């Protein structure tokens, strides 16, 4: 019992607001984070704000796709751009070695004012890149609504926000997620490794981002893999693989 209580205390608390994200940081970092948030929301008045909980807690801003992230740190804030490698950066201000994202470090309000024009350009360039990538893709909310109906009809499931994105869990284990990758909305789900290898040859199916080799996690673009009956079956199979046997048996 003592071990369970200690484990519960060590788990990060779910962040549900920007105030929760910046709580515990120095007054200067809080002020800087608030200024950056106000700036982003002024540039993206229709943006959806969500939060990634954990050691690298941050705020995520999405329109048709993820545009930028704000991360408060000990003495500064980082602003991340998921499409950073594609952005115009003639002055070399963006940092990072990821194959996709880049970030800029902001140390003070004065520094923020120096970066304001560049930040504005990167935000709007990211929006344009996402809009181009979406093409014939489906709207995020439409995909999420259809996915929610399928997932929450299964026994003992719930929706949570994990890594700033909606995921569906049976108990505490994820069996399906909904996210936008470079503006294209996709679902992540688990398959048997052999089936995943075969399905990766099907248009609209790809290896899930950040997944390990041969772990069976794939992403499905429903605008390309245009068969929601089959998607529902794949979600059901993912549920069966993840759910405890007693819960999976309820389907029978």
Question: For residue 245, what pLDDT band results from cuts at 50, 70 and 90?
Answer: very high
Please indicate, yes or no, if residue 200 is contained in any of the structural domains: yes
CATH number of the domain within which 69 lies: 3.30.1460
pLDDT tens-digit series, residues 115-139: 999 999 999 999 998 887 766 667 7
Q: Note whether 175 and 115 are same-domain residues.
A: no
Residue predicted with more confidence, 222 or 132:
222
For residues 81 and 126, is the Cβ–Cβ distance under 8 A? yes
For residues 48 and 56, is the Cβ–Cβ distance under 8 A? no
Please indicate, yes or no, if residue 149 is contained in any of the structural domains: yes
Question: For residue 209, what pLDDT band results from cuts at 50, 70 and 90?
Answer: confident
Q: Report how far residue 45's alpha carbon sits from residue 138's, in angstroms, rounded to the nearest whole number.
A: 21
Question: For residue 105, what pLDDT band results from cuts at 50, 70 and 90?
Answer: very high
Question: For residue 212, what pLDDT band results from cuts at 50, 70 and 90?
Answer: confident
Please indicate, yes or no, if residue 204 is contained in any of the structural domains: yes
Please indicate, yes or no, if residue 3 is contained in any of the structural domains: no
pLDDT tens-digit series, residues 148-184: 999 999 999 999 877 767 899 998 999 999 987 766 7
Closest residue by Cα to residue 144 from 163, 168, 162, 126: 168
Q: Note whether 118 and 17 are same-domain residues.
A: yes
The arithmetic mean of pLDDT across residues 241-245, rounded, is 95
pLDDT tens-digit series, residues 42-53: 999 999 998 987
Please indicate, yes or no, if residue 5 is contained in any of the structural domains: no
What's the domain range around 177?
140-251
The count of structural domains within the chain is 2
């Amino acid at each position: 019992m003592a071990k369970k209580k200690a484990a519960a205390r060590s788990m990060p608390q779910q962040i549900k607001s920007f105030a929760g994200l910046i709580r515990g940081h120095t007054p200067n970092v809080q002020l800087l984070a608030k200024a950056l948030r106000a700036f982003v929301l002024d540039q993206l008045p229709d943006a959806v704000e969500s939060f990634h909980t954990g050691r690298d807690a941050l705020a995520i801003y999405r329109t048709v796709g993820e545009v930028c992230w704000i991360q408060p740190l000990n003495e500064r804030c980082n602003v991340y751009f998921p499409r950073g490698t594609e952005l115009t950066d003639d002055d070399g201000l963006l940092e990072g070695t990821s194959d996709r994202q880049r970030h800029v470090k902001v140390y003070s309000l004065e520094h923020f004012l120096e970066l304001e024009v560049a930040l504005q350009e990167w935000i709007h360039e990211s929006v344009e890149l996402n809009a181009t990538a979406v093409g014939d893709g489906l709207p995020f909310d439409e995909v999420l609504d259809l996915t929610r109906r399928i997932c929450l009809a299964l026994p003992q499931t719930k929706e949570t926000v994990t890594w700033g994105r909606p995921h569906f869990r049976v108990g505490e284990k994820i069996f399906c997620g909904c996210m936008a990758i470079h503006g294209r909305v996709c679902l992540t789900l688990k398959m048997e490794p052999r089936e995943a290898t075969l399905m990766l040859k099907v248009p609209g199916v790809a290896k899930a981002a950040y997944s390990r080799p041969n772990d069976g996690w794939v992403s499905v673009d429903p605008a390309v893999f245009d068969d929601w009956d089959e998607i529902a079956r794949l979600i059901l199979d993912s549920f069966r693989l993840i759910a405890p046997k007693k819960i999976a048996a309820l389907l029978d």
